[in-house]
Structure 1
Amino acid sequence: LRRVGVFDQIAGRTKQLTDGICHVMAEFEVPIQVGQVGAMFGFYFLKQPGAIIRDYASAKQYADTDRFAQFFHAMLEQGVYLAPSQFEAGFLSSAHTDEDIQFTLNAVRKALQQILS
């Protein structure tokens, strides 16, 4: 953590991950809302395309918790642990590599193939 630029590197990898998640979800036409600040990220599966989650009330209305639960378990089967609720944030660290990001994005693709088949 004493290296110059380490936090920028972590934030860059987190953006790479969230951009990749958005791209894969778009390939499968899965409505999703992704947020990222620095090393922190989160995403919601949406019950309808174009819905926007801004607060607790809209999260209760538009978040597809059933689909997230399916995705969570499918990701576990692919070797990727996410927070068990889509209402929790995920975090990257300096230990995560570009290879880890690619592994995770490949797991996202496989998990979606599994739950959408």
Structure 2
Amino acid sequence: MVLSEPKPEPRYVEGVEDRVVGGTVAQPHAWPWQISLQYLSGSSYYHTCGGSLVRRGWVMTAAHCVDRTRTWRVVLGDHNIYVSEGTEQVVGVSGVYIHPNWNSNSVAN
């Protein structure tokens, strides 16, 4: 996934709990490479997956997160995706690359 330029602010689905079962809340900004992958639907963006900033302008995420053609963006520097904290960096996605051997019908990838 290649990043491009900033996009509008996200909106989130009410009542959805996004958490790791048995996990703990991270200290704010303890994992600066963690990103929120968001897609555009109508006039709003929605969080769909996490990912990692692996180098400047490049993010790695799971193939099943980006196997549909959508308008994507990445949010970095965010601790709570439901609250604007002023530390967020919003960047558009200019390209998506999926491994050629990835198969959406198999778990053996």
Bigger fraction of residues in strand: 2
Bigger fraction of residues in helix: 1
* Same-fold status (TM-score > 0.5): no
Comparing both chains, which one has the higher relative contact order based on Cα–Cα distances under 8 Å and sequence gaps of 6 or more? 2
Report the TM-score when normalising by structure 1.
0.24
Report the TM-score when normalising by structure 2.
0.25
